[in-house]
Homo-oligomer: A and B are copies of this chain.
Amino acid sequence: MTDEKPKNLPLRALRWLIYGQPLATQQYDLMCLRKLLALPVFCSDAISSVAYGPQQIVLTLCLAGLWAPQYSEIFNHHVSLIASLIVLVLLLVAISYWQTIFAYPGGGGSYIVTKDNLGTWPGLIAAAALLIDYVLCVSVSIASGIQNLKDVPLLSGLHIENHLVLYCMAGIAFMTWLNLRGLRTPGLLFAIPVYTFIVMAYFMLILGLGADFFGWPLHKEYINQMVPPQAQTNLAHTLTGVIGPVGLAVLLRAFATGCSALTGIECVSNGIPAFKEPRPKNAALTLIYMAIILGTIFIGISMLSSKLHVIYWEHDGISAAAVIDQISGAIFSKSGSFSVFYNLTQFATAAILFVAAQTAFADFPRVTSILAKDGFMPRQLTQLGDRLAFDNGIMALGVLSTIFIVAKKGSVDLLIPFFTIGVFLAFTMSQIGMVRHWLKQKGNNWQLKLLINGIGALATFIVLIDIVIEKFLDGAWLVLVLMAILLFLFHTISSHYKNLALKLTITPESLSNIPHKNTVLVLVQGVHAGTVKSIDYARSLCNNCQAIYVETNPDNTADLKKKWQQYFPDVPLVVLPSPYRSLIQPIMCYLDEFHKEHPDQTITVVIGEFVPNKWWQSLLHGNTGLLLKLAFLARNDVIVTDVRYSV
């Protein structure tokens, strides 16, 4: 009988309509993802980063003065050097995680790997860093997605720029809703922009490199030619050198900012349980596909940027056209018959920046559920919702990212500095964990595997140090503060659960089985059919019954006592005076006294309640039953029994 689906009440019908049909626990496989759908869900964040990673490199170099024609060779050299380094780190990280996936086929995020090999607290540090980064990932992605919509002429009527925070909140709510429907819904929906973006990116790269090779004509008028003077003066103070130590600083800064492209690589290894069988193989393949796509497009766009000598600058909230916009403009032209491809690229870029938040939505609830299972976060985060998603984690992510959006008023520029640091901390710790893993476990080719993870650890550590140095004052310090708070929370929650488990352990004393001596106190407000029901029930429980009446109006007492004698002569009636007309105060005092006099008795308080036929009728009653029950929430020394009679 309980095998049936939940009953279809009107409210439930609405819930189905919004969230889809509830799924049974054994239908879990239905919600698992094939590689084709897993890519948009787990890799949107990583792939979207080609839209800003190369641009960050170009920006740093241009602001350092390298845009000037006389430096074009250094510029080209630096761009390709940094891009190659980043793709190298990407490959190292990807291969490391590929190894991790097979070593931890049940899901091997930074938390699990670090905890398993380096201990609980390092694991928690990695988890805290990662969680903060996921929250920021959602805030940044949604904010930049909404900011892109701002300039779409079709949507000018929405006045997005005036209600930025509101639209960001709506965007987060939308993502939250999609994910509450289970992972397949965002997978299906977001496959369109993600694959469109990938196809368009490759198309653009082929044409671009073909143009370079075969000398096809390009629309160079869409390439920026210079950094405007007001933006230049700004940077002249910070980075003027080209070679020597200052030139190295420029390189390091460009590398640090470009590494933001690597966020989101870790997600696949956390998400193994969401893949179709064979899970580890499918996950590993998805990871490799992602690395290839991300690597090739990243290198490709960086090469085109240097070949076309794309210049990018930002100053006081104004900026040049985005690098990807300049390149696609130059290749497809912004007018003419090929402009449809230009527009498609722009649309896909804007969409994938928004969709990048999906990766965090896929992974954050998973990480929190693992933490909750280990007792470091509230247990409700382990509950599967109607659609077998971790509903509470999804909603928590929605709320937390909204807080960042509101705090920073939806500005991408103000949110960016907090980003990336957590990911690289988690990367490093998980790589070190893997090194330790191979040292302990050994197995086939363990030396090679150790070497790969070792190099990975070193590379990500260097990047981490670089990022901390570059971003510390900009806001990275806040991430450290937030991490400390999170770790304190983990500790507090964990000790609460441990303490609870200790207290709930069955001890010989708790099993001593001294028979209860029960006293039943029935709270009465008058003599009527409801009282009869309550008293009859109380008498059936034990012989030790009392009726309690609070005398708020002494005029009625004599009449009540007479009636009581007539109907319930066997049950003593205790009349409590209440000079201040409080119902609750006298009862509590009586209970205290009763407890003192009879410490061996288990007191059961019976509360009788009317249940009206229609909801509005309850407005016509004092609802004393409800008030009493609320008041008794503060007392653990009595057992409260609710006898309800409909009238």
Q: Closest Cβ of chain B: how far from A394's Cβ, in Å? A: 16
**1-44 of chain A: CB within 8 A of chain B:** 1-7, 22-26
Stretch at the interface among A107-115, A193-201, A580-588: A580-588
Q: Which residues of chain B are near A604, meaning CB under 8 Å?
A: 641
A590 contacts the other chain (Cβ, under 8 Å)? yes
A566 shortest CB reach to chain B, Å:
9
Chain A 540-560, CB within 8 Å of chain B: the 1/0 string?
111000000000111000000
Q: Does A383 contact B (CB under 8 A)?
A: yes
A485 CB, min distance to chain B CBs, angstroms: 14
Residue A646 CB within 8 A of the other chain: yes
Chain B residues in 8 Å Cβ range of A582:
6
Known interface pairs A581-B384, A622-B383, A646-B636. Does A589 touch B2 (Cβ–Cβ under 8 Å)? yes
A509: nearest residue on chain B (CB-CB)? Answer: B529
Copies of this chain, tallied across the complex: 2
Given contacts A5-B580, A25-B579, A386-B580, could you give 16 more A-B pairs where the C-beta distance is less than 8 Å? A2-B576, A2-B590, A3-B577, A25-B553, A25-B580, A379-B622, A383-B622, A493-B620, A496-B612, A496-B620, A504-B529, A505-B529, A516-B540, A540-B602, A636-B645, A641-B642
Bits for A609-634, please: 1 = Cβ < 8 Å to B, else 0.
Answer: 01110000101111000000000100
Task: Supply 25 A–B pairs (Cβ within 8 Å), ascending by A.
Answer: A1-B589, A2-B589, A3-B577, A3-B579, A6-B580, A6-B585, A22-B580, A24-B579, A25-B553, A378-B620, A378-B621, A380-B622, A496-B620, A497-B620, A504-B528, A506-B528, A506-B532, A511-B532, A516-B537, A537-B602, A540-B602, A541-B542, A632-B642, A639-B643, A640-B641
Q: Identify which of B22, B25, B379 contacts A621 (C-beta below 8 A).
A: B379
On A, residues with C-beta under 8 Å from B are 1-7, 22-26, 378-380, 383-384, 386, 493, 496-497, 499-500, 503-507, 510-511, 513, 515-516, 518, 527-530, 532-533, 536-537, 540-542, 552-554, 567, 576-582, 585-586, 589-590, 593, 602, 604, 610-612, 617, 619-622, 632, 636, 639-647
Assess the A581–B25 pair: CB atoms within 8 A: yes
The answer, among B3, B530, B581, for a CB contact under 8 Å with A383, is B581
Residue of B nearest to A584 (CB): B6
Known interface pairs A496-B620, A580-B5; A530-B516 also in contact (CB < 8 Å)? no
A379 to B612, CA, bound (A): 15
Pick from B379, B511, B532, B645: contact of A567, CB below 8 A.
Answer: B511
How many Å from the CB of A202 to the closest CB on chain B?
43
A620 to B491, CA, bound (A): 13
Q: A3-B579, A602-B537 are in contact. Are A567 and B518 (CB under 8 A)?
A: no
The reply to whether A507 and B536 contact each other, CB–CB distance below 8 Å, is no
Cross-chain contact B529 with A510 (CB below 8 angstroms): yes
Q: Say whether, besides A506-B528, A579-B26, A642 and B640 are in contact (CB < 8 Å).
A: yes
| Chain B min CB distance to A120 (Å) | 19
A594 to B139, CA, bound (A): 51
B residues near A4, Cβ cutoff 8 Å: 589
Judge whether A540 and B515 touch: CB under 8 Å.
Answer: yes
**Residue in B22, B384, B529, B541 whose CB lies within 8 Å of A503:** B529
Q: Which residues of B contact A536 (CB under 8 A)?
A: 513, 516
Q: Which residues of B contact A610 (CB under 8 A)?
A: 500
Judge whether A2 and B586 touch: CB under 8 Å: yes
Interchain nearest-CB distance for A521 vs B (Å):
13
- The distance from the CB of A253 to the nearest CB of chain B, in whole angstroms, is 42
A646 to B500, CA, bound (A): 10
Could you say which of A2, A496, A541 has the most chain B C-beta atoms within 10 Å of its C-beta? Answer: A2
> Complex: how many Å from CA A577 to CA B26?
12
CB-CB under 8 A from A643, the residues of chain B are 639
Which residues of chain B are within 8 angstroms of A3 by Cβ–Cβ distance?
577, 579
Cα separation A620 to B499 with both chains bound (whole Å): 13
Expressed in whole angstroms, the Cα–Cα distance for A15 and B619 within the complex equals 25
CB distance from A376 to the nearest CB of B (A): 11
**Set of chain B residues within 8 Å of A552, measured between Cβ atoms:** 25
A42 to B537, alpha carbons, bound, how many Å? Answer: 51
Specify the chain B residue showing the minimal Cβ separation from A27: B579
When distances are taken between beta carbons in the complex, the residues of chain B under 8 Å from A553 are 25
Partner of A518, one of B493, B541, B585: B541
Across the two chains, which residue of chain B brings its CB closest to A375? B620
- In the complex, chain B residues whose CB is within 8 Å of the CB of A589: 1-2, 4
* A577 partner residues in chain B, CB cutoff 8 A: 2-3
Is the pair A647, B380 in contact by a Cβ cutoff of 8 Å?
Answer: no
Q: Which residue of B lies closest to A586 (CB)?
A: B2
Q: How far is the CA of A636 from the CA of B4 in the complex (A)?
A: 24
Residue of B nearest to A643 (CB): B639
Chain B residue nearest to A541 in the complex (CB): B541
A602 to B518 CA separation, bound complex (whole angstroms): 19
Q: How distant is the Cα of A621 from the Cα of B500 in the complex, in angstroms? A: 11
Please determine whether A530 and B504 come into contact, CB atoms closer than 8 angstroms. yes
Q: State A150–B577 Cα separation when bound (angstroms).
A: 51
Of the candidates B7, B380, B529, which one forms a contact with A506 in the assembled complex, judged by CB atoms under 8 Å apart? Answer: B529
**A513: chain B residues within 8 A (beta carbon):** 536
CB distance from A22 to the nearest CB of B (A): 5
Q: Please, which residue of chain B has its CB at the minimum distance from the CB of A526? A: B504
